Structure 1
Amino acid sequence: MGKSQKKRSMRRHNPMRVPDSHLPKGLESAASSSPKNEAVLPIIQKLESPDASERKWACVAVSNLIQNDPSTRRLLQGKNVVGALITRLSDSEEEVWIEAAGALRCAISPGLQDFYCPTFLFLRNLCIDGGYDICAEMYNKNILAPLKTFVPKISSALSQFLESPKTAPENAQKVVYEFTENVNTILWCLSETSNKALNAINQISLVPFLMSFLAARAKLPIATVTAAAQCLYVLTDDNQPAIDELRSNAVYSTCLLEIVHNKGSLSDKDREVFGDRLTMLKVLSSGILSNVSPLPGAASGVDVGKEIVLPLLQPVVASVSLTESSALAESLVTKIALEPPQIEKLSLKNAPQSDHRSDTEVELDRLENKLRTVQLALEILTGVCATLPDPTSEAQEGVPDAEEDDEEEDVTDDMALDDTPITNGTTTASHLPALVEPLITLIQPVRLSFPPAAGQSLHPPTTSVLSAIHVSALECLNNIFLSLSASPNSGLAAASASGKQIWDGVWAALGSVGTEITRSQERKQEMWEIGVGVLWGVGNIWKGSLVPNEEQVQLLIQLCNSSADLAIRVKCIGTLECLAQHPQSIDANRVIAMHLLSILPTSTAPSSHGTEPLIQTLSALIDIYSDENLPYDINFRQGNFLQRLVDSVDGVRKAVRAIDRRKERDLKLRGEEMRDNLVAFIKYRRALKF
């Protein structure tokens, strides 16, 4: 299997709760689709009012208007609300720029309320009418300039509150903490949206600032501490300057380890009231430790993946029922709809407050927060599973990815999927099999998993997080099976019943997703693309024991032919190769072989599927028919497959010759190996006497 699947590529996204791909583009379309069109103009006008109270009201009203409403958000963006709010960040009235910061944060992640603990959110970039995402607009309009000035002010206020808490009224402290949460959330959103913005934020050296909140966690609101942890988690994700800065002080690692082990994290009162948020804080801290591993100082001997991440996060991903969560969300949304908020009735005399939600809305937010915690845990686990040794890393330099089976190393004679450890380098994979069952459960779609083919979800934020959980669970499964297959084990391969159960579970999820994928349902497409990779990993471990299903084979062939993504084609071919090697399934072997042969070039025409899929196809055919004694080998002989391979040799040579060694060295090496193997395989088959 190609190692391109193994490594988690760095992806930076605008952390959107409410996707808007279903909306038509253009300011006019946004105006016609927004139910609050008439309320927009007065708010824009009041943002420029000479009256500070009107400006404050307008900032709060923006947050209310765009909550869970992408059409109104687009309409306001078209009216340059971002520029107006950034201007308000330099307002002479302190309360105005505090509310402006809150409004900007809601513009990035609509629905995040001032006292609501933000969680790691990512769906895709929010595009404005001109094609620019909103965070790029904020960065281009120099939002970092005022934010930089807030950092030392916040640090000074925090020090004062901690040293002399009685010097400031409780209300004043609350305002500062809420504002701090807003600032940290904006920095977090900008950091994971654009590498350009991330590089600029690196210049601020935020690590000491953010760690100060974690160090003082027992004396600060949990929401403020978690916002700092969230920002730090994003900053240390594949970002070397922040990683180096955090690793430079061993006290930081000690603090994070204390949070993970629940030492002095919160007051008893906060622990009782904010249990879910404490879990989020622990998950974030484990993610930060994973990002900066290996740890410095006295903690240098800690295996973060083995000793912290896997045992801590496994119960988190097993703690939620998506079916129950979806049903609860539907119930709460229905209840909220009975008393909808009347944004249009807001007045200056009765300006909205930061915490203006009903108990039902708070409960819905708490549910989403719990789901976001699970989604974050899955992302961290995916990264840990991806760092397990790649079998190719131990090969001699210059040797390409070979498809033939590696020499098996028997760890145990009697291995069960659920309780036997597999040692792989310095990191144990013993927790990986135990993760499989909850992950298979988490990939199964529920009622609110995807938006309907036409229209919008009953509650877009819940739909967003549910679909993100499905995708993240599949990504985690993908890396688990790649890691398990990296160290072939006869005992694991013998657990064929477990293999079939997992295989059926993945197909059940994909079957629920279906093949009818419309606009605004990109997550369904992602599930298929990642799901095929999981199937390849499962098939590779239980190769020869999985009985091919005719409908599944046809779906894989159709996806291979229709996808424009070469990586998807490679995954389909790899999965079909595994199915073709079930000894007794002669008819299925023939169907798969005919598809693989159709991918080969001829002496006059190149392969229609691309070079990398072609190389994978050659590997598959050689692997399938390397043992002439298998029952399905009759297809090779009766179908005259040998002649088809002979006819492809010149085309294969041309395809390999066309690979640019400077740009695609690994592919070039593998292509040259497969070319040579093809010639040798033809000679071998010709020499056989039947």
Structure 2
Amino acid sequence: MGKSQQKKRQTRRHNPMRVPDSHLEKGLAAASESSRKNEAILPIIQKMESVDPTERKWACVAVSNLIQNDPSTRRLLQGKNVVGALITRLSDSEEEVVVEAAGALRNLCIDGGFDICAEMYNKNILAPLKTFIPKISTTLSQYLASPKSAPENAQKLIYEFADNVITILWCLSETSNKAMNAINQIGLIPFLMSFLGSRENLPISTVTSAAQCLYVLTDENPSAINELRADAAYTACLLSIVRPSESAPAVNGKDKEKAIERALALRVLCCGILRNISPIPPPSVAATVDLDRDVVLPTLEPVLSSISLPEMSRKAQELVEKEEFVPQLEKLSLKHTPKSDHRSESELELERLEQRLRTVQSALEILTGLCATLPDPTIPSDGPETAGDEDADDDMDAEDDEDATPDEENVLPSGSSTPAYFESLVYPLLGLIQPTPLSFPPLAGTSPHPPTTSALSAIHISALECLNNIFLSMATAAARHKLDIDVQNGYKLWHEIWRALGIVGTEISGAGQERRRDMWELAVGVLWGIGNIWKGSLPLENEQVDVLIQFCNATSDPLVKVKCIGTLECLAQHPQSIDGNRVISQYLLSLLPPTSSIPTEPLLQAASALIDVYSDETLPYDINFRQGRYLDALVASVEGVRKAVKSIDRKKERDLRIRGEEVKDNLVAFIEYRRNLRL
């Protein structure tokens, strides 16, 4: 299996966009045809420039309310330069207008995504934002030093304003490397860490936003990573949040439940920050801890089992049925000034439900990287192997065995050949990949509640990414140490992946169905990993083979084709499935030249697969090779394979060229071997 298939890190920064536009109906064309919306929006833009501060505030709040989950109105506003108008209001003479403008820009960032964030950056939103940082810091310091020095509503205002500014910076930092570099110049780390350091005296929501911003800033960003690493107080603070020693505050009822949930979200994010900046150097206390084993896994594993996705989906549907959530344009007027923080009970509950789902999603994102480096199931992960390791292993006596590291004890339960993380990690992940009725937009129309749908589908995707890395790591370890892992686990895993795909369905090409397609593309990688571990043991089902072949033909992504071919190769090696082996092998032969013109990487995978499947002529299904005259077909493909390999650029695709040369040489040698058998 190619190493390139194992995803140790996200190749793109975490997307702050709450709901992709494809999950929602009514695009720009449909919105432009609506004169009612156009007429209603114009006064809002005009009032943004009013001499009356009340009207300016009203306009900012109106924008904030109207854009939520409504891309058509959002795009109409964007066409009227609402972004530029709101950025101008950040320098308004009235404090409340500035606060509401920041709130509207925050909502635009979250609901609008990368395009609007890029527009904000290009229109120099960082200029006013930079001026807010020292002002917020000074005001917070005064409040913390003397809590009774300001009325409660003034404190609430500054906390919410800080939350809005931090969230905008978080979203902007995910827009592009250019934006990230500009934000690095602001020097946000001390500002953000001050919130975490004073967390006991600040609203948990604001502290969590600061942690979310830090999580993003430390994602493969050396400037922020080095600054956090260099301060032992910072890393000690992060560790103390993940492993709190103080008792929880005395809170009862719903408030207690909400406080516990938000505290968990904060701990999850701090786990992610610690992983982003590891290894942490001395003298920090965090340098003395095995972060993955002693901090990250114990914190995040329980999160995976903390919710039931079917139950969350059911609750969301019940809440949605209670009332209508889309703000009505015609109801907006100065006499009925909307409130940016107004939410009905159902809306607040839905928001809380979404936050719980996002906490699970964050935990999965962090685990994705860790799952790529899980310790081998039979050996302690106490350092790289050396040339003499194998000989040393042979000489180990019983006394040496007693000194096994905790890693070894945690990985394999006594008397079992199944890694311990099957129970704590793999099986909970299997539960998180199973779609619910709200997991994807309907094939026609939109989701009843797009934010919940977006969060659920993101969880399924992230859980599959974790499984993908786990099984690729396990396949490597199983091959290296000749492990014999309980085949019943293989059956269960295989069945659960296909059960999830059955719910996803095969209609994955329409607008808004991108997540269904993502599920298939990731699931095939997981199937390949499972197939490699239990190669030859998984029963071959004709319907599954047909679906994999159809998907391989339909996808335009060469790497997805490679995954499909790799999975088929594993299935073809079930000794008793002679008919299934014939179907798969004939398909693989059809991918070879001169009859095919598929991309080079899947071509190489198909050639390599046929060599592996028929490397043992004593297996029952080898009759297909002989009766089908596969040797002649392979001989005819050699020249085409040679040309394909030669076309690989040595400088741009060095690893692929090396693999291509290896496959070509193996093909020639395999043909010679089969000829000499004279079967």
Same topology, TM > 0.5: yes
Counterpart pick for 1:664 among 629, 632, 653: 653
State the 1:267 CA deviation.
Answer: 3.7
Measure the CA separation in 2 of the matches of 1:618 and 1:342.
Answer: 60
1:469 aligns with 2:459: yes
Would the alpha carbon gap of residues 543 and 33 (structure 1) be closer, same or farther in structure 2, given more than 3 Å must change? farther
1:379 aligns with 2:331: no
**Which residue number in structure 1 is paired with residue 86 of structure 2?**
85
State the 1:588 CA deviation.
Answer: 0.6
Q: Which shows bigger deviation, 33-42 or 154-163?
A: 33-42
1:329 aligns with 2:316: yes
1:400-549 correspondence to structure 2 within 5 Å: 421=411, 430-431=420-421, 434-488=424-478, 493-517=484-508, 518-549=510-541
CA contact (8 A) 1:88 1:97 kept: yes
CA contact (8 A) 2:581 2:621 kept: yes
Counterpart pick for 1:370 among 356, 359, 372: 356
**Which residue number in structure 1 is paired with residue 267 of structure 2?**
282
Measure the CA separation in 2 of the matches of 1:10 and 1:187.
Answer: 21
1:553 aligns with 2:542: no
Amino acid aligned to 1:109: I
Q: Which shows bigger deviation, 493-502 or 221-230?
A: 493-502
Amino acid aligned to 1:687: N
Measure the CA separation in 1 of the matches of 2:368 and 2:170.
Answer: 21
**Which residue number in structure 2 is paired with residue 355 of structure 1?**
341
Amino acid aligned to 2:132: F
Deviation per residue, 1:230-269 (Å, 9 max, x gap): 0000111111111111101011111111111123486434
Amino acid aligned to 1:20: D
**Which residue number in structure 2 is paired with residue 118 of structure 1?**
none
Q: Which shows bigger deviation, 564-573 or 487-496?
A: 487-496
Would the alpha carbon gap of residues 134 and 396 (structure 1) be closer, same or farther in structure 2, given more than 3 Å must change? farther
| Unaligned 5+ runs, structure 1 | 111-124, 128-132, 398-408, 413-418
State the 1:680 CA deviation.
Answer: 1.0
Measure the CA separation in 2 of the matches of 1:250 and 1:340.
Answer: 47
Amino acid aligned to 1:574: G
Would the alpha carbon gap of residues 273 and 390 (structure 1) be closer, same or farther in structure 2, given more than 3 Å must change? closer
1:620 aligns with 2:612: no
1:654 aligns with 2:643: yes
Amino acid aligned to 2:104: A
Measure the CA separation in 2 of the matches of 1:475 and 1:35.
Answer: 44
Would the alpha carbon gap of residues 388 and 315 (structure 1) be closer, same or farther in structure 2, given more than 3 Å must change? closer
1:212 aligns with 2:202: no
**Which residue number in structure 2 is paired with residue 240 of structure 1?**
222
State the 1:336 CA deviation.
Answer: 2.3
Deviation per residue, 1:456-478 (Å, 9 max, x gap): 11011111111111111111110
State the 1:166 CA deviation.
Answer: 2.1
**Which residue number in structure 1 is paired with residue 277 of structure 2?**
292
Q: Which shows bigger deviation, 368-377 or 64-73?
A: 64-73
Would the alpha carbon gap of residues 532 and 635 (structure 1) be closer, same or farther in structure 2, given more than 3 Å must change? same
Percent identical residues: 66
**Which residue number in structure 2 is paired with residue 599 of structure 1?**
591
CA contact (8 A) 2:569 2:613 kept: yes
Measure the CA separation in 1 of the matches of 2:230 and 2:35.
Answer: 50
CA contact (8 A) 1:590 1:635 kept: yes
Amino acid aligned to 2:575: P
Measure the CA separation in 2 of the matches of 1:65 and 1:84.
Answer: 16
1:250-265 correspondence to structure 2 within 5 Å: 250-264=232-246
State the 1:16 CA deviation.
Answer: 2.0
**Which residue number in structure 2 is paired with residue 415 of structure 1?**
none
Measure the CA separation in 2 of the matches of 1:486 and 1:211.
Answer: 40
Q: Which shows bigger deviation, 346-355 or 443-452?
A: 346-355
1:671-682 correspondence to structure 2 within 5 Å: 671-682=660-671
Amino acid aligned to 1:661: R
State the 1:10 CA deviation.
Answer: 2.4
SS of the counterpart of 1:109? helix
Amino acid aligned to 2:269: L
Would the alpha carbon gap of residues 431 and 311 (structure 1) be closer, same or farther in structure 2, given more than 3 Å must change? farther
Deviation per residue, 1:165-206 (Å, 9 max, x gap): 222222111100000000000011111122221111111121
State the 1:68 CA deviation.
Answer: 2.1
SS of the counterpart of 1:583? coil
Equivalences, count: 645
**Which residue number in structure 2 is paired with residue 12 of structure 1?**
13
CA contact (8 A) 1:259 1:265 kept: no
SS of the counterpart of 2:517? helix
Amino acid aligned to 1:294: P
State the 1:345 CA deviation.
Answer: 2.8
**Which residue number in structure 1 is paired with residue 391 of structure 2?**
none
Q: TM-score by structure 1 length?
A: 0.89
1:683 aligns with 2:672: yes
1:172 aligns with 2:154: yes
State the 1:430 CA deviation.
Answer: 4.5
**Which residue number in structure 1 is paired with residue 571 of structure 2?**
579
Would the alpha carbon gap of residues 211 and 378 (structure 1) be closer, same or farther in structure 2, given more than 3 Å must change? same
Would the alpha carbon gap of residues 341 and 142 (structure 1) be closer, same or farther in structure 2, given more than 3 Å must change? closer
Would the alpha carbon gap of residues 476 and 14 (structure 1) be closer, same or farther in structure 2, given more than 3 Å must change? closer
Measure the CA separation in 2 of the matches of 1:79 and 1:429.
Answer: 58
Measure the CA separation in 1 of the matches of 2:672 and 2:355.
Answer: 62
SS of the counterpart of 1:268? coil
Counterpart pick for 1:137 among 106, 119, 130: 119
Amino acid aligned to 1:6: Q
CA contact (8 A) 1:311 1:431 kept: no
Q: TM-score by structure 2 length?
A: 0.90
Would the alpha carbon gap of residues 245 and 654 (structure 1) be closer, same or farther in structure 2, given more than 3 Å must change? same
Deviation per residue, 1:345-391 (Å, 9 max, x gap): 34334423332112221111111111111111111111211244899
**Which residue number in structure 1 is paired with residue 2 of structure 2?**
2
Measure the CA separation in 2 of the matches of 1:40 and 1:656.
Answer: 59
CA RMSD of aligned residues (A): 2.7
State the 1:617 CA deviation.
Answer: 1.3
1:155 aligns with 2:137: yes
CA contact (8 A) 1:10 1:238 kept: no
Amino acid aligned to 1:540: N
1:44 aligns with 2:45: yes
